[in-house]
Amino acid sequence: MEYVNHNGRIILSGCLIINENKEVLLLYRKGHNHYETPGGKVHLEECKEKGVVTVDDLAKTAEREVFEELGDKIKIEKLKYFGEIEFIIPDGRLAIAHKFITKIVSGEPKINEANLFLKMDWLPLKHLGKYPISPDLKRLLPELKSLC
């Protein structure tokens, strides 16, 4: 599968799933030993126009990744664009992560990719910095506090 990159940077898209208690649902990734949002790389075939990545393309990727990682038995609200952050992924490559905000409308999330994730937890947004979180979430902490 071919992935989109921009000037050598990997393009990622993911979701901040937030509940009424101001907690965010995060997955604990094996090997990286940190929590991260459901999300992943943008596939070339997800883009409407070759060489151009739109917010709609990013939303499509984020939604696909939510269902791949948390199961297709959940329903989520329409995604709202939150922002982007440039960071270095654990293997040393540059990446740009685009984040969307959503809520679970119905269903129970479950880890669908047990080979990648050890557990999932609802973590309080206001204390997120106290947990081992992914590099992109660390860089987004100031903006995330505005959601508290």
* CATH number of residue 139's parent domain: 3.90.79.10
pTM as predicted: 0.91
User: DSSP code of 107?
Assistant: S
Collect the ranges in the chain with pLDDT lower than 50: none
**Which pLDDT score, from 0 to 100, does residue 93 have?**
86
**Which pLDDT score, from 0 to 100, does residue 147 have?**
84
At 86-124, the pLDDT tens digits run 998 878 889 999 999 999 999 999 999 999 999 999 999
Cα torsion angle, 137, 141, 147, 148, sign: positive
Rounded (5°) CA angle 73-147-124: 65
| Separation between Cα atoms, residue 35 and residue 27, nearest integer Å | 5
**Which pLDDT score, from 0 to 100, does residue 136 have?**
93
**Which pLDDT score, from 0 to 100, does residue 92 have?**
86
**Which pLDDT score, from 0 to 100, does residue 42 have?**
87
Provide the strand spans (E) within 7-133.
9-18, 23-29, 34-36, 39-41, 75-76, 80-88, 94-102, 104-106, 117-124
Tell me how many domains the chain contains: 1
Q: Are 116 and 29 in contact (CB under 8 A)?
A: yes
**Which pLDDT score, from 0 to 100, does residue 7 have?**
67
Residue 125: helix, strand or coil by DSSP? helix
Question: Where in the sequence is the domain holding 52, given as residue range(s)?
Answer: 5-145
What is the separation, in whole angstroms, between the first and last Cα of the chain? 38
